[in-house]
Chain A
């Protein structure tokens, strides 16, 4: 009797199992590449900055002489750029919160289901994919030249605003969408107008989500170099920027300037600058996560 034995194919199954194991191994190894790259990057930055980071680094302007940056030197650091970045982000936050939430409220609460609306939505998706340096050209031609703001703090902040606006709008839209309709209808039921519903019901409920999305976008803006470079951020400012229409320095620009100097010592200075930048970034992200967990109420 020679019927086909369904289990005769055991060797083939073994082969498949081996292939499967190799495959999982490759997938895990690939996943590790990303993690190892991140750890290596952070370790490299910290290693290079070791011994070059001090309190003086935060409170002194940059210097042409690398020895001034060392502890015990005459004092040199990132101060004007740090202050510049803080101003830049504060202004950008002011503009993006207003414009981003406004646009999101229109798209979620008012917009009729027309071609114009879908055009605006498709347009926002596309804007998010435009390289940041192109926004720099826009800022250069419109704010710096056409409007005549010059290479100023305000021009830089407006350029960064346009850059992150698409991300803020999408984040705010998601937050608004998470507010259940029952809440809106309850407010309408007691006689609220549309604006009252949005102001007193929808926006307060969506606020934590909006804040989280905005802070995360701002943390992207603070690390952007290319747009503010095109707008004309200063590379060697020795006093903190003090007016909207005056020149400005910013941390990423300052780091770029240090990194391309030929003296090897400046690599360490650049690394110290990166540690400061990443610390600010980390603090912003931590704040965003804190707001998400602290204020997120269960809406459903």
Chain B
């Protein structure tokens, strides 16, 4: 409040309840900071234990991930590769489709169509990821096996990338559309006045003007794909390997964590500790992408008034 505060609480009339409530509310807000601290401490603590046995160099550069089967080996790269395959594959699907959807909804669709299509796409984002995993197993993989001339495994990277791609389409389309919607009509009208077609206005005026919001939505969607767990576990399998074939099983970092989570690994064992080292790697990757997304939005934002 900028003016002189004449409320009773400010003049000390409010009594003890008022100041007590304030502290209770502050504690609730502070809990969110505590959560972040908790995540970082938990991941670091578990990782430190892990790196007593395995060197950081071996972990980050090793190309063999075999933590439970002798001879044990802890090179995280195959898991990172698996995550990368899913992320890039899903981006190839979600970025073009999501962007084109956003252009259609923002520039072409009439308000009636828009008000129907937007909520439908948002349902896609609300479907639990376990359902996408089931969809991959029961529909996508059988279709790939039926229509593709190549050998397609029951668990394969392609099915994982496809479902994750479908899952993140609404993220790209919704955030990009918001960005395009924020472009003022004067810019469009100016271009029409110069004789531009609707296509030219969309691609040469609106897209560049909204580029920061659009790029930020891409990065955010990729970060979501990196952290996606159940769908890729069910669809892409649990075989940590380097493979360039999208029809073979792989294992992502998240799928490895699930594998340990459902097995009877005892607390304090190296398998249990590896959970936190992989978790830390995942956390660092998604956090840096989320920060990058925020940075892009603030760095390249055009202010329109």
Contact = CB atoms under 8 A, between A and B. Distances in A.
B124 A20 contact: no
Contacts of B267: 145
A191 to B, nearest CB: 6
A27 B207 CA distance: 14
A191 B8 contact: yes
Is chain A's binding surface mostly helix, strand, loop or mixed?
helix
Nearest to B227: A131
B42 A137 contact: yes
A91 interface: no
Interface stretch (B144-152, B184-192, B195-203): B195-203
A103 B230 contact: no
A2 B285 CA distance: 65
B254 interface: yes
Interface stretch (A54-62, A71-79, A118-126, A239-247): A118-126
Interface string A23-53: 1101111110111011011001100100000
Contacts of B175: none
Interface in A83-114: 98-103, 105-107, 109-111
B197 A17 contact: yes
Nearest to A16: B197
A219 interface: yes
A91 B169 CA distance: 32
Contacts of B257: 133, 136-137, 226, 230
Contact of A119 (B13, B33, B139, B282): B33
Given A24-B108, A126-B36, A256-B230, A271 B134 contact: yes
B29 A34 contact: no
Interface string B107-141: 01100000001001101101111111111011100
A159 to B, nearest CB: 11
Contact of A27 (B35, B108, B258): B108
B128 A133 contact: no
B171 to A, nearest CB: 11
B294 interface: yes
B29 A131 contact: no
Interface in B130-187: 130-135, 137-139, 166, 169-170, 173
Please classify how large the interface on chain B is, using the bins under 10, 10 to 19, 20 to 34, 35 or more: 35 or more
A136 B220 contact: no
Interface string A253-264: 001100110000
Contacts, number: 261
A124 B32 contact: yes
B15 to A, nearest CB: 7
A222 B127 CA distance: 11
A99 B31 contact: yes
Contacts of A103: 25, 28-29, 31-32
Given A125-B294, A194-B9, A131 B282 contact: yes
A127 B126 contact: no
B223 interface: yes
B75 interface: no
Contacts of A127: 32, 35-36
Interface stretch (B53-61, B66-74, B95-103, B240-248): B95-103
Interface in B218-249: 220, 223-224, 226-230, 234
Interface in A4-18: 16-17
Given A30-B104, A188-B7, A252-B128, A129 B197 contact: no
A30 B29 CA distance: 41
Given A123-B36, A219-B126, A45 B42 contact: no
B92 interface: no
B51 interface: no
A100 B126 CA distance: 21
Interface in A189-211: 191-195, 198
Interface in A247-284: 252, 255-256, 259-260, 267, 270-271, 274, 277-278, 281
Q: Which of A20, A26, A41, A281 has the most CB of B within 10 A?
A: A41
Nearest to A230: B261
B38 A138 contact: yes
Interface of A: 16-17, 19-20, 23-24, 26-31, 33-35, 37-38, 40-41, 44-45, 48, 98-103, 105-107, 109-111, 119-120, 123-127, 129-138, 141-142, 145, 162, 165-166, 169, 188, 191-195, 198, 219-220, 222-226, 229-230, 232, 235, 252, 255-256, 259-260, 267, 270-271, 274, 277-278, 281, 285
Given A31-B100, A103-B29, 16 more contacts: A16-B200, A23-B202, A27-B108, A38-B123, A38-B124, A41-B127, A45-B134, A103-B31, A123-B36, A127-B35, A133-B258, A134-B43, A137-B42, A194-B7, A195-B17, A195-B18
Interface of B: 6-9, 13-15, 17-18, 21-22, 24-33, 35-36, 38-39, 42-43, 45-46, 96-98, 100-101, 103-105, 108-109, 117, 120-121, 123-124, 126-135, 137-139, 166, 169-170, 173, 197-200, 202-203, 220, 223-224, 226-230, 234, 254, 257-258, 261-262, 267, 275-276, 279, 282-283, 286-287, 290-291, 294
10 contacts: A35-B120, A35-B121, A41-B131, A123-B36, A126-B36, A129-B287, A193-B7, A223-B130, A225-B130, A274-B134
